[in-house]
Structures are given as structure tokens and as C-alpha cells.
Amino acid sequence: MREQIGLTLRDVEIASTALSDVRGIEEFIINPSRLSDIETKGVVPSIYRLYVLSVIYRTDFSELLKLYGVDLSSTAADFTVCRPAKTHRIDLMADRGSVSVPVKFDPGFDLRQSTNLGRMIENWGVVPLQYLQELARKKYTYAYIGTEDLTMYPLVLPGSFIQVDEERSRVEEGKWRSEYERPIYFVETREGYLCCWCSVRKGEIVLQSHPLSSVQPRIVKHPQEAEVIGQVVGVAMRLADWHYPSQPQQQATPELTEGEPKEVRRR
């Protein structure tokens, strides 16, 4: 890369020193002997030097990472190696890498009927993630339901990935014919994140868990102690290889005060 743009080892040292002076980061400096070791002896550069080389060589930082086996486009797929216990948001660089998506479906594909989607796809195409992001008209947040978070069990299993529409952060009140119609919300509290049903009343919000869950509902101040990030509009979860946590979330329910709804408790 260095030779292709006509730079010498000394040129790189001068440029890296200049960047170090501007940014005030001494680790940016790359002397000729160190650069030679990186090029010829397999020495792995530090994150500082790798960034400097990406700037000097006019190369995307992620492309240099690939030379060392680190592919940022595989980040989401690599999430499977770890199953955190707590529910949390997922922050990814949406403009990195590309993804294969269905670009042509069988003419007989009918959205109204259940079918094997794999057999209905005639052609897959590679699309940059940035392109997909520009196509999206809504702002979504993605989150992971912790392996010990049983708030919406068994409707939403622990270990699931959810898609949250941030434009639907206003809690809807009404009557629903089934639990599947009732909106589920992604909420941030002082203790962390959770996925639950919600009901708002003056100055308070009810964080309602599923009736079959071991997690007790609760009432907290709104919006001081709980912020509704948005409504859950998509869920991806595995139905196999899932086991009930050995220590489910159990919380003692204090005695309810007179006139308080029986399905909730105060903190």
C-alpha cells in the first residue's frame, strides 16, 4: 500500500509525527524501523499506528483490520459467542460492511400464507449496509433480551433480538383481544433496560410483565425513573437450544395498599 502511493519509510514517519503533533497523541508516531518490522516481520501495529496508516495510505480503517482477521461486518454474527444475562441496547456501526438480502422472489410467493421462505427466494444480492440504512424511513433501535430476563416469558424468550421503533414511544391505552395485539415496549430504567407491557397514569408508569413470568410487575415514577424508548415491532428468537435459567428472577411482593391494582406492586 505504501509503495503504491509512492511513499518512503521516512515519508510515513514525517506524516505520522505531524499528525501526532496536531492531535497530541505521541503513540501516533511511526519510526522507519517499526514500520519495516510491520511490513516484513509480521509485527502487529497498535490501534494508534493502524489508524495513522489508514489516514496516510488513504485506506478505510476497517479494511486494514481485515488484514489481521478482524472483519467488522461480522460483528452481529459474532454476537452468538456471548449470551449476556441482562437486557441491553445494541449499538452497531450501521454503515459498515454489506449484507446478502433477497432481491428476487418466486412469482408465486404469497405473504398471506405460511411458507418456506428459502424456497421462495430466486436470487440473493449483496447490498451495502449504508444503502439499507438510507432506505429506512424510521428510526429503529435494536436490543438483546438477557438470558436471565424473564419479564415477557414465554411471549418473548430470553436471548431474543428485538427491533424497536423509536417513533412509537407514546404508550397506547386500550383494550386488546389477545396478548399478541397488546403493544410491547422497550423501557430504560435506573437499573437497566427491560421489555414489557406498559400503562401510564398521572406521574407513574406500570411496567407489566407477562402473567406467566416469575418477574413481578411494578410501578415507578414517569418519566423520572423510566423512559419508554419505543415499541417493539420485530422479534427474532430461537425456539431450540433454550433452557430456563437456573435462578429465575424472583422478587418478594410487599403487601398491596388498599385501592392499588392487584397486578402491580410499588417499588
CATH of the domain at 232: 2.10.109.10
What whole-number distance in Å separates Cα of residue 104 and Cα of residue 101? 9
Helix (H) or strand (E) holding 206: strand 204-208
Q: What range does the domain containing 26 cover?
A: 3-66
Asked if 88 and 12 sit in the same domain, the reply is: no
How far the first Cα of the chain sits from its last, in Å, is 61
Q: Is residue 154 part of a domain?
A: yes
Tell me the CATH number at 29.
Answer: 1.10.260
With contact defined as beta carbons under 8 Å apart, do 146 and 84 qualify? yes
Q: Name the DSSP letter for residue 156.
A: S
Query: What pLDDT was estimated at residue 117?
Result: 60
What whole-number distance in Å separates Cα of residue 208 and Cα of residue 202? 16
**Mean pLDDT by 10-residue block, N- to C-terminus, for the chain (267 residues)?**
94 97 96 96 96 95 93 82 88 59 70 61 63 62 89 92 92 91 95 93 94 94 94 88 60 41 42
Taking 3-state DSSP, the helix, strand and coil percentages for the chain, each rounded to the nearest 5, stand at: 25, 25, 50
How far does CA 90 lie from the centroid of its chain?
A: 2
Q: Is residue 182 part of a domain?
A: yes
Q: How far is CA 38 from CA 1, 46, 53, 61, 77, in A?
A: 13, 10, 11, 16, 30
Asked if 89 and 38 sit in the same domain, the reply is: no
Q: Is residue 103 part of a domain?
A: no
Q: Is residue 51 part of a domain?
A: yes
Query: What pLDDT was estimated at residue 95?
Result: 53
13 three-state secondary structure: helix
Query: What pLDDT was estimated at residue 139?
Result: 78
The alpha carbon torsion through 186, 192, 197, 199 (nearest 10 deg) reads -100
- What's this model's pTM, rounded to 2 decimal places? 0.65
Asked if 89 and 60 sit in the same domain, the reply is: no
Q: Is residue 114 part of a domain?
A: no
Q: Name the DSSP letter for residue 266.
A: B
What whole-number distance in Å separates Cα of residue 18 and Cα of residue 21? 5
Pick from 124, 167, 158: which is nearest to 249 by CA? 158
Asked if 256 and 197 sit in the same domain, the reply is: yes
**Edge-to-edge, what's the strand order for the sheet holding 88-90?**
88-90, 140-144, 161-165, 226-236, 185-189, 192-201, 204-208, 218-221
**What φ, ψ does residue 229 adopt, rounded to 5°?**
-70, -40
Which residues are CB-neighbours of 16 under 8 A, at least 6 positions away? 28, 29, 30, 49, 52, 56
Query: What pLDDT was estimated at residue 267?
Result: 40
Asked if 28 and 149 sit in the same domain, the reply is: no
